[in-house]
A and B are shown apart, each in its own frame.
Chain A
Amino acid sequence: MAIDLPRSRRGSREGATDGRAGEDRSVVAGLDALDEAPLLPPRSGPVRVFVGSVLPPLIFLALLVGVWQLAYVARIKPPYALPGPSQVAQTFWETVQDGRAFDAIWTSLSRGAFGFVLSLAVGTLLGLAMWASRWLRAAVGPIVSGLQSLPSVAWVPAAIIWFQLSNAAIYTVVLLGAVPSIANGLLSGMKQVPPLFDRVGRVLGLSTLGRIRYVLLPAALPGYLGGLRQGWAFAWRSLMAAELITYSPKLGLGLGQLLNIGRELSQMSLVITSIVLILLVGIAIELLVFAPLERSVLNRRGLTATR
């Protein structure tokens, strides 16, 4: 030890930076370990999820049915106008059993999906074009925004006059309902991209196309997704409106048409059944498609608040 000391001292002076670099590097590793995100609270278990987000709507639904039953028992309206929950449940079950429910859901959903994909293509191209051309944005922008607030059911008469009672008429209405939301969502998403990101793309030496592909579009994704979500909601509503009005045997049986049958037969339980089916499809698409999509995009960017 006593002999080693001077030598190691000399050594440490010569290799001052060497020794320090190694030492400091491990210190940095230690600092980084301290920097690690604190352990996240354990993911909530199934019981928690059930109590937190499944139970409340179920309780509310039960309350609603209870109030309905009370109103039925109290005869606020005659039974043909306000059937009780049990009658509606029976009609619902019959519609499911004779296959009409699934037929109608399938017809409407496939129409909705096709119309939505069409709107997606048109809306995305329109949004990109509006972003690229200042002139186009000035010219078309106000009309697109205006269309967003025009209930697309207003187009149904025109669509019927142009295309008669056909699928083309239905898709016209769906497109006019969904395209503006999608185009505007993409446009506002792209406008909100921080200029710093574009400068990063330029500093890295990406071409204009490369900057659009690797910087601008990914940065605009959250806004675009919001537009898609709203676009779907508008497409689905427009579809129901169009189906309700363009009732014709050769168009097949969609949910809107099922609703119309209920109206013509003055069968209130079928009307309520159809409304419930339409609502269920809307909730299912939201919960199974858009919510997870949005969550994964936001999570990846750390944009979701952990409460």
Chain B
Amino acid sequence: MTAHALTVDSATAPDATAAPAVSVQGVSQVFTRGGPPVLQGVDLTVAPGEFVCLLGASGCGKSTLLNLIAGLVSPTAGRIEVSVERPALMFQEPALLPWLTASGNVELALRARGVARAARKAEAERLLEVVNLAGQGGKRVHELSGGMRQRVALARALAQDSSVLLMDEPFAALDAITRDVLHQELTRVWAEQKLSVVFVTHNVREAARLGQRVVLMGSRPGRIVREWRVDIPQPRTIEAPDVSALAGRITRELHKEISRHGH
């Protein structure tokens, strides 16, 4: 697919005046009664069309926050508003249904959306093509490698055709080359369909490569400690010097945040 020379950051800079795509206000989450809060006082606003990367140490509550935004769990305290009825969510695990084929998994999302039976097959094939799995739709889940499964999961999330896309470490299991290609595809789809994306990752470079904004979460309790606006225009590459420089700055901050827990 052609990747247009996007000047995304100036042209489609997030519109602060429009109603936000995702608005998280003062959200706290406690799982066990009387236990420590997993999230405390989290505020996060995602403007329509904005690409936000969420960084944080393992166990700081990133998945929990995403599940809250997706409406799978209701928060112990605080408010969450999402501009669409149903945000698309890509789980940390591929979460494919093993009795269906790759295409069947994508088609289930289309069916849930009410796409007519006749159109589903072709649409699923198109989406699998987007994630570089053309012609692989007939495979059973267990016949796919981990990376291929994750890509089917991406195709399924895209099949939900929601303008809000939540992604939980979607590319963590992929090799660098496949990940580069999917980064390109994702930024392309994001720009074309004006998606609002919340992208959770452990990988600082990936965050710097993709996000218009990088949000750093602290641990115990999970909260937002810092954020960076990224003004490097898309298309970026993960090796670009300015992306690397930003990643370096974020990494130092992340280390500071983590070592705070060392004593």
Contact = CB atoms under 8 A, between A and B. Distances in A.
B89 interface: yes
Nearest to A207: B112
Interface residues of A, number: 34
B21 to A, nearest CB: 17
A302 B91 CA distance: 21
Interface in B91-114: 91, 93, 95, 97-99, 108-109, 111-113
A295 B141 CA distance: 17
A164 B181 CA distance: 75
A300 B46 CA distance: 41
B3 A202 contact: no
A17 interface: yes
A200 B177 contact: no
Contacts, number: 97
Contact of A214 (B2, B95, B108, B181): B108
A203 B88 contact: yes
A46 interface: no
A219 B147 contact: no
Contacts of A303: 98
B86 A205 contact: yes
A196 interface: yes
Contacts of A205: 85-86, 112-113, 160
Contacts of A302: 98, 140-143
Interface string B148-184: 1000000010001000000000000001011011001
Contacts of A50: none
A21 B184 contact: yes
Interface residues of B, number: 42
Contact of A200 (B2, B86, B95, B140): B95
A300 B109 CA distance: 20
Nearest to B153: A200
A202 B72 contact: yes
A29 B132 contact: yes
B112 A210 contact: yes
A303 B89 CA distance: 27
A24 interface: yes
B72 A301 contact: no
A199 B72 contact: yes
B22 interface: no
Say what secondary structure dominates the interface of chain B. loop
Contacts of B184: 17, 20-21, 24
A217 to B, nearest CB: 10
A28 B132 contact: yes
B89 A203 contact: yes
Interface in A216-250: 218-219, 221
Contacts of A264: none
B141 A31 contact: no
Interface string B5-40: 100000000000000000000000000000000000
Contact of A196 (B70, B88, B91, B160): B91
B78 interface: no
Most chain-B CB neighbours within 10 Å: which of A24, A27, A28, A301?
Answer: A28
A204 B99 contact: no
B181 A197 contact: no
Nearest to A29: B132
A18 B3 contact: yes
A203 B3 CA distance: 30
A301 B71 CA distance: 29
B1 interface: yes
Contacts of A200: 91, 95, 97
Interface of B: 1-3, 5, 70-72, 85-86, 88-89, 91, 93, 95, 97-99, 108-109, 111-113, 132-133, 136, 140-143, 145, 147-148, 156, 160, 175, 177-178, 180-181, 184, 235, 237
Interface of A: 16-18, 20-21, 24-25, 27-29, 31-32, 35, 37, 196-197, 199-200, 202-206, 210, 214-215, 218-219, 221, 297, 300-303
Q: Which 10 interchain pairs have the tightest Cβ spacing?
A: A302-B142, A35-B145, A17-B3, A204-B112, A301-B98, A17-B235, A24-B181, A203-B89, A205-B112, A206-B112
10 contacts: A20-B237, A24-B177, A24-B184, A28-B181, A202-B71, A203-B86, A205-B113, A300-B99, A301-B140, A302-B98
